[in-house]
Structure 1
Amino acid sequence: MKISLNLASRPFTDLTDVYKRLRIAMGVLALAAIALGVLLHFVLQHDQRAYLRAHSIDESLGSLAAERQGYETLMQQPANARVLDETDALNELFDQKAFSWTLVMKDLETVLPDPVQVTEIEPARTKDGQVILHLRVVGPREENIRLVENMEHSNRFLRPRIVGESPESNNGSGARLQTVSANSVEDLDLLTDYNLMQTVSDAPAAGPAKASPAKPLVGGAK
């Protein structure tokens, strides 16, 4: 009996290269898994250390808060509260004594135009130690503006700002309002930060207009 085979119906396939590539891919995946496992281990350790550090900081903050609460309770006692009030009063007195009126007057002479007169000076000290001057001046509108410009170019008077202005009137409340012009005499309220750290010998920077070097100041000071 004669049997014929058709080899074309089941062609021979060499799978050696395929298996080799699969083994290489599996090895790469295994190495990647090991690397990811090591990385995850270090990340978890880092997170654990961060958690312990945060927990330690929370405990320290809680201890400080409890200590602060204890001090506040202690200071609220009548005897200690009286001492605290006296300390605040003394600190305020020291601040007032440290303020130099002579220095302020000398600095104002360098920025004050001739026609402008200072009628009131009221210093105030903020909680952070900054000194703010409340000035009330009288003079022509144009010269008042020049005063503000001179302050802006000064090393002593910082951030000058106008908080109020009104025309000067000596005829009472029934006086007829006058037209505002450059020569109109006005009352001007100014607020400016005063730089105590600047040395007396430092002259202010040159401004757009020169002020009188020896202008007498008139009016009162609080």
Structure 2
Amino acid sequence: MSLEMMISLILKSLGQTGQMVAISGLLGSLIGLPIGIFLATSGKGELFPAPTVNRIIGLIVNAARSTPFIIMVVAIIPFTRLVTGTSIGTNAAIVPLTIATIPFFARLVEAAIREIDKGLIEAARAMGATPMQIVFKVLLAEARPSLMAALTMTMVSLIGYSAMVGAVGGGGLGDLGIRYGYQRFMPEMMLAVVIVLIVLVQFVQSAGDALARSFDKRNRKN
């Protein structure tokens, strides 16, 4: 295989990986964010007390997180086919990637919210703030650095997941590495895919860390 063809295949696969990660990351975080907020604020005596519902949702989230990703991809093939009309390709891969993102990001959001000083919540309550005002003006505002770090961690994990769906025809860099690097015995293609994935992860991690620092009030004061 010529160098030009190899570069062309890598760029095409990189675009597919970027599409999968961006769309599933956006959808998964939009759904996971309110779930995480609810899990962090719906315990007994908290802003939205609903301990029974909290436990049920927590069990569902834990069950989804404990399911190995590759098994989940295969298990929800009928649902994937129902949503996208196919079980292979980039669009089909977005479905299990999104479903995997939701519980993962929700738990990270919950942890970020629970790190906030309870005194801030009590002070807001004393000033007459409603629960929704506390969520948007206190919890989310104070947790922005942690939420950005959580989003970064989620995107990095999604890059790894997107490579795994290549094993079931999901497209992207993982699929390229399996089809050419493994099945056609082209170690140079496998090496190139690994290097691109490492560079991509480093870029996402560095950009996310920079954004998290920009949101941190302590850094702005310095």
Question: Normalising by structure 1, what TM-score?
Answer: 0.23
Higher relative CO (Cα under 8 Å, sequence separation at least 6) belongs to 2
Question: Normalising by structure 2, what TM-score?
Answer: 0.23
Higher helix share: 2
Q: Max radius of gyration: which structure? A: 1
